[in-house]
C-alpha cells in the first residue's frame, strides 16, 4: 500500500493502526472474523472499476466477459456449498438480502412473522425502526424466560396469525435452530419459509449446525461471520423463487454489483468447501462450549445456561453491571465484545443488561479449548473486579501472551510515511 501511504498518509496510518488493534487484541464479537489473505487480495482488485448491472450473460453494459466468469463461479460454488437450487451473490449486505427475499414473495402490508430483536432476533425480522417493521404488519415471537425457543408457541402464533412469511434465524440466540420445524410450521400455515442463517452459515456448511435445506424455501446469509468471507451477503432458494429474487435485487433494490467483493465471495466459498473448514466449524463450537462452561464455573450467568453454537449471551444483572460498562472494561484490557440486550431486558437497548461474545475469530487465529479456559477466567476476573488496576494489568499480560502465541497476518505489512 505504498501508493496510499504516499498520497494519503492519514488514511494509511488509520488502516495500519486498525491492523495493529486486530493483531494485539482478542476479537470476540461473534459476528466478526478474519478473512484469509486470498480473500483480502480479491477485495482490492480491478473489478471494482466495472459496472455490471444485470446478471451473467444478461448485462446492461458491455465489457463484462471476465466479470461474468467471476460471478458465475461464485454462483455455482454457492449452490454447491449449500446444496441450493438457486443463488444470487449480488446483495451488498444481510439487510439487503432480507429485503430482497421479502420483496420477492410479499406485498407491503402483508404479515411478516419473525423473532423480536430484544429476544435475540435481527432488526430486519420486523423491528419498527427497520424497513421490515415499516413495510409489513409484524407478528413477533420470542423465547421463554429460560432463554429457549418454544416451537409449540411459535406454531400457535403462526396458526392464529397466518403470516405471509415466517422468518427464522437470530443474531443473539445461543442455541441450535430447528430450521426443519420452522419450515413445517410455515407450510402448515400457508407461509413462505425464510431462514436467515447469517450467524451460523459457516457452522451449517461445516456440519456443526442443522441445515435449512431442503425444507426451507429461501435462505439468506451474510458471508463475513462464521463463513469467514468478505463483508457482504448471499441469497439461496428453491428454483421457483429465483426469478422473483433476481428482479427484487435489480432493478428493485440495487444498481451495480460490487464485483470485486463477489470475486472475494467466490474465494471464500471455495475455502469453505475444503475439508479443513469442517474441522474449523466444529472447533468454533467446541471452543464456545468450553468458554461458556468456564464463565459459568466462575459464577457468571449465561442466557439459556450455555451455548450450542458460536456465541453466548451474558446476563450481568447479578454483577450489578450494565452491558455498556462491561464492554468498556473488557476493551480496556484488549478484549472486544459488544453490549447486547437479554430476553425480557428491563434496560434500554443502548445500555442493556448483557454482553454478546463468541469464538469464530479466535478460532481462526488457532485458539484451542485450553486457551478458551484462560480467556474465560480472564474475562470473569475483570468483570468481577471492575475497579482493580492489578486485575486489569494481569488481564493485559494474558491478552498479550495469547496474541503473541497466535499472530495475525504475520506477513502483512502496510507502508506509512
53 annotated active-site? yes
* Cβ count within 10 A of residue 107: 10
pLDDT for 414: 82
From the list 16, 79, 180, 231, the catalytic residue is: 231
pTM of the model: 0.96
Mean pLDDT across the chain: 97
Residue 415 is predicted with a pLDDT of 75
H/E run at residue 21: helix 9-24
Are 172 and 163 contacting, i.e. CB atoms less than 8 angstroms apart? Answer: no
Burial class (CB in 10 A: 0-12, 13-18, 19+), 352: buried
The single residue of 124, 220, 222, 359 carrying the catalytic annotation is 222
Please compute, for residue 236, the number of CA atoms within 13 A of its CA located in the half-sphere on the CB side: 28
CATH of 39-272, one of 3.40.50.300, 3.40.50.2020, 3.40.640.10, 3.30.70.1140: 3.40.640.10
Over 90: is that where the pLDDT of 131 sits? Answer: yes
Indicate whether 417 pLDDT > 70: no
> What does the domain layout of the chain look like in residue ranges?
2-30+276-405, 39-272
pLDDT tens sequence across 349-381: 999 999 999 999 999 999 999 999 999 999 999
Active site residue 86: no
Contacts of 289 (CB under 8 A, 6+ apart): 306, 307, 308
Active site residue 241: no
Q: Decide if 221 contacts 244 (C-beta within 8 A).
A: no
Question: What's the rounded Cα separation, in Å, for the pair 92 and 234?
Answer: 8
Contact (Cβ atoms closer than 8 angstroms) between residue 121 and residue 168: no
Contact (CB, 8 A) for 200 and 223: no
What's the CATH code, domain 2-30+276-405? 3.90.1150.10
Choosing from 59, 77, 175, 225, the catalytic residue is: 225
Distance CA 241, CA 86 (A): 8
Q: Exactly one of 16, 23, 51, 110 is catalytic; name it.
A: 51
Our answer to whether residue 60 is catalytic in this structure is no
Verify whether residue 222 is a known catalytic residue.
yes
The one catalytic residue among 86, 102, 189, 196: 196
Q: Write the pLDDT tens digit of every residue in 300-323.
A: 999 999 999 999 999 999 999 999
Pairing of strands 165-168, 111-115: parallel
Cβ partners under 8 Å of residue 229, min gap 6: 35, 39, 223, 264, 265, 267, 268, 269, 271, 272
Q: Which of 53, 215, 298, 381 is catalytic?
A: 53
DSSP 8-state symbol, 91: -
Q: What is the pLDDT of residues 177-229, one digit of tens each?
A: 999 999 999 999 999 999 999 999 999 999 999 999 999 999 999 999 999 99
Find the helix or strand (DSSP H, E) in which 137 lies.
strand 137-141
If you average pLDDT over residues 113-131, what whole number do you get? 96
Instruction: Let me know how many helices (H) and strands (E) the chain has, helices first.
Output: 16, 15
pLDDT tens-digit profile of 240-283? 999 999 999 999 999 999 999 999 999 999 999 999 999 999 99
Q: What is the pLDDT of residue 221?
A: 98
Q: pLDDT tens across 30-51, in order?
A: 999 999 999 999 999 999 999 9
Write out pLDDT tens, residues 318-351: 999 999 999 999 999 999 999 999 999 999 999 9
DSSP-assigned beta bridge partners for residue 233: 222
Q: What are the Cα distances from residue 54, in Å, to 105, 166, 187?
A: 20, 29, 32
Cell representation of residue 125: 425480522
Amino acid at each position: 500500500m505504498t501508493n496510499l501511504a504516499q498520497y494519503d498518509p492519514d488514511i494509511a496510518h488509520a488502516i495500519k493502526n486498525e491492523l495493529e488493534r486486530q493483531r494485539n487484541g482478542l476479537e470476540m464479537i461473534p459476528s466478526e472474523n478474519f478473512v484469509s489473505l486470498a480473500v483480502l487480495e480479491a477485495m482490492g482488485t480491478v473489478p471494482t472499476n466495472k459496472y455490471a448491472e444485470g446478471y451473467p450473460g444478461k448485462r446492461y453494459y458491455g465489457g463484462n466477459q471476465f466479470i461474468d466468469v467471476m460471478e458465475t463461479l461464485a454462483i455455482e460454488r454457492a449452490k454447491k456449498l449449500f446444496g441450493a437450487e438457486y443463488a444470487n451473490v449480488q446483495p451488498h449486505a444481510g439487510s439487503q438480502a432480507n429485503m430482497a427475499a421479502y420483496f420477492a414473495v410479499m406485498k407491503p402490508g402483508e404479515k411478516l412473522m419473525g423473532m423480536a430483536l430484544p429476544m435475540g432476533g435481527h432488526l430486519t425480522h420486523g423491528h419498527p425502526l427497520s424497513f421490515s417493521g415499516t413495510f409489513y404488519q409484524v407478528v413477533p415471537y420470542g423465547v421463554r424466560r429460560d432463554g429457549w425457543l418454544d416451537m409449540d408457541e411459535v406454531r400457535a402464533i403462526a396458526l392464529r396469525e397466518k403470516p405471509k412469511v415466517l422468518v427464522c434465524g437470530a443474531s443473539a440466540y445461543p442455541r441450535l435452530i430447528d430450521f426443519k420445524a420452522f419450515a413445517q410450521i410455515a407450510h402448515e400455515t400457508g407461509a413462505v419459509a425464510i431462514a436467515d442463517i447469517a450467524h451460523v452459515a459457516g457452522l451449517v456448511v461445516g456440519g456443526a449446525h442443522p441445515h435449512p435445506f431442503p425444507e426451507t424455501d429461501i435462505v439468506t446469509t451474510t458471508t463475513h461471520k462464521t463463513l469467514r468471507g468478505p463483508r457482504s451477503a448471499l441469497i439461496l432458494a428453491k428454483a421457483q423463487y429465483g426469478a422473483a429474487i433476481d428482479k427484487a435485487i435489480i432493478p428493485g433494490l440495487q444498481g451495480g454489483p460490487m464485483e470485486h467483493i463477489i470475486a472475494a465471495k467466490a474465494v471464500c466459498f471455495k475455502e469453505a468447501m475444503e475439508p479443513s473448514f469442517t474441522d474449523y466449524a466444529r472447533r468454533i463450537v467446541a471452543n464456545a462450549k468450553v468458554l461458556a462452561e468456564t464463565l459459568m464455573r466462575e459464577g457468571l450467568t449465561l442466557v439459556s445456561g450455555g451455548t450450542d453454537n458460536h456465541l453466548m449471551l451474558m446476563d450481568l444483572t447479578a454483577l450489578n453491571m450494565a452491558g455498556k460498562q462491561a464492554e468498556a472494561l473488557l476493551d480496556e484490557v484488549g478484549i472486544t465484545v459488544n453490549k447486547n440486550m437479554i430476553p425480557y431486558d428491563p434496560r434500554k437497548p443502548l445500555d442493556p443488561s448483557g454482553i454478546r461474545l463468541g469464538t469464530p475469530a479466535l478460532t481462526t487465529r488457532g485458539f484451542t479449548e485450553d486457551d478458551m479456559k484462560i480467556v474465560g477466567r480472564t474475562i470473569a476476573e475483570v468483570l468481577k473486579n471492575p475497579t482493580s488496576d492489578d486485575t486489569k494489568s494481569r488481564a493485559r499480560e494474558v491478552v498479550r501472551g495469547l496474541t503473541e502465541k497466535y499472530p495475525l497476518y504475520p506477513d502483512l505489512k502496510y507502508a506509512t510515511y
